[in-house]
Every structure is written in structure tokens, then in C-alpha cells.
Amino acid sequence: MLAQGCARPSRSRNAAAGQDDDTKAQIDKLWQEVQQEALAPQSSIVPGSILCTVCLRGIKAHKKCYLVVEEPKHYHEANEDCIAQGGTLATPRNLRENNDLRDYARLSSPGTKDFWIGVTDIVKEGQYVDVNSMPISYFNWDRAKKEPTGGKRESCAVLSLSAQGKWHDEVCRTEKRYICEYLIH
């Protein structure tokens, strides 16, 4: 599904001081494209184009692209934002995906401790599902802190960098940065 021509910019070994300026210019151009596509009517959006931009700005792993969003939002607003961009909140399906998300989040947003992920028990306490209401089988709760501990008050999952990628539940109305996930077919 990736559009043709979607690739990371090549870097020449002969490139000198202008390399950082070129990279910044490319990132600025991609950001402008994302903003224009987000404002365009849905019928004019080319799905591969947004996906290319996301994959270039984020990381590509496990047949998905992931993108950290720096603007803190409530859980539901974060998921709506991911959906508006063609994805959902990231839902790690195994330890490898979880560790890749942890490492990517640490590099992308140094100093940030927690990120929303697409795991919640809002519908039925203790029954965690993904953002599509599908049961999940992989969990990475911080058992050292006896997570999940929130009862009905804390129903949304957070990937915690301070706990080396372990999860804890949190009040969904708390504003946090988040990670979106986009499927590559």
C-alpha cells in the first residue's frame, strides 16, 4: 500500500555541512504536506501519501508505521487524532513490538515518561481490549507496582518509559503524549 517513491531520503557519503540543512528542509516539507493533507477534503487524500509521510517521520516495524505525537491529549482525543490521520493508538501485540515502541518513544521524546497506547477496559472493568474493542492477549503490566490498579477510575493504558516499557492504567482524562500506529498492507 505504500505509494511508489516512498523512501527515506538517500544520504551521500560526499555530503558535507549542508546535509543537516537538507534534512531539516525535507522534514519541513513533509510536515507541510501532512498539514495540507489533514485539512484537505477526504476524497482528495491519497492514503499512501499520508502513510509515506508517517513512515518517514516515525519508524517502520512489524508491517506497521509508528509515530509519536508530542501534543498531550486525553486518551479519547489522542485516539481520534490517530484515526483522523488514518491510524489508531498503537497497540503492542507482543514483547518485541512493545520494546520497539519503548525504544522509539525514548528516542523521539526524551524526558517524556508516559504515552497513551490503544488498550482500555472502559466497557467492562478488568476486560482489556484494543481501540477496535477486540480482546487482546498480550499484556505488559508493571507487576512490581501491582498494575493494573485503577479500578473503574483508571481505565486507559499507558506505556511507561520510567518502568522500561511496562504498562499501568491511568485516568483517561489525563493529558499525555501518545503513539499512533498505521498498518502497512
- Is the per-residue pLDDT at 133 higher than 50? yes
Give residue 16's pLDDT. Answer: 43
Mean pLDDT across the stretch 34-52?
A: 48
Mean pLDDT across the stretch 130-153?
A: 91
Mean pLDDT across the stretch 29-38?
A: 55
Mean pLDDT across the stretch 47-59?
A: 65
Give residue 152's pLDDT. Answer: 81
80: left (phi over 0), alpha (psi -120 to 50) or beta: alpha
The CATH number corresponding to 67-179 among 3.40.1010.10, 3.20.20.150, 3.10.100.10, 1.10.287.610 equals 3.10.100.10
Higher pLDDT, 163 or 18: 163
The answer to whether the CB of 181 falls within 8 A of the CB of 89 is yes
For residue 165, which phi and psi values (nearest 5 degrees)?
A: 90, 0
Annotated domain spans of the chain: 67-179
Higher pLDDT, 10 or 134: 134
CA distances to 14, 24, 104 from 19, rounded to whole Å, are 10, 9, 23
pLDDT band at 32 (very low <50, low <70, confident <90, very high): low
The answer to whether the CB of 97 falls within 8 A of the CB of 62 is yes
- Is the per-residue pLDDT at 5 higher than 80? no
20-29, 141-150, 170-179 — which one is most confidently predicted on average?
A: 170-179
- Is the per-residue pLDDT at 30 higher than 90? no
Give residue 23's pLDDT. Answer: 66
